[in-house]
A and B are shown apart, each in its own frame.
Chain A
Amino acid sequence: EAQLVESGGGLVQPGGSLRLSCVGSGFSLRGYWMSWVRQRPGKGLEWVANTNIDGNLKEYLDSVTGRFTISRDVAEDSLYLQLDNLRDDDTGIYYCVTDYYNYFKDWGQGTLVTVSS
């Protein structure tokens, strides 16, 4: 079954950093805009960042601008999200998704980020 697979989540202290990764299993990310969407505990879904096919256009949610960096490696067919200066309210499940004309067509199973001292 073709799917997106995220990794890199974990427990980190406030102010710390993590790097999330996303690869396709039987699925290529090439040719798709890609986004990260998160789900914070007890809350709904929230788009965080996206990037275009080449990785040279990037857009961010205001609350993560300057702290998170989305990138992709076209050759490696991978997507990344660098999370710096993490806050308690960044805790949640982070999903890698195909950004298909701005709606989210394919979803990974998510990776859990917990920010806590």
Chain B
Amino acid sequence: IVLTQSPGTLSLSPGERATLSCRASDNIRSDFLAWYQQIPGQAPRLLMYGVSNRATGIPDRFSGSGSGTDFTLTIGSLEPEDVAVYYCQHYSGSPKTFGQGTKVEVK
């Protein structure tokens, strides 16, 4: 399954809503989709799993939605510390693949 993320880069002001898209080339069964955040210079960290479940310690301004082939990560009110690259990943079969990432910038 190929995951295509859009846009490539998102540049928004603090407090604005960020909407990141992840589209799959085939149906993702059982909501087996996760999101990761990679802050510059750091390792990735798990944000969401099972489409809409926040990982431990993730603030509630992050939310996930979608099903089938179309998924969305929303940052409800952008904070300066949200500057990062965000990756989606499916685990609906092997190999588990990632999208190419969306870079979020804060103006």
Contacts and interface: CB of A to CB of B under 8 A. Distances in A.
Q: How large is the interface on B (under 10, 10 to 19, 20 to 34, 35 or more residues)?
A: 20 to 34
Interface of B: 32, 34, 36, 43-46, 49, 55, 87, 89, 91, 94-101
A102 B43 contact: no
Given A103-B34, A104-B34, A46 B98 contact: yes
Given A44-B101, A47-B96, A47-B97, A105 B91 contact: no
A61 interface: yes
A62 interface: yes
Interface residues of A, number: 19
A61 B96 CA distance: 9
B9 to A, nearest CB: 14
B45 A107 contact: yes
Nearest to B35: A103
B95 A105 contact: no
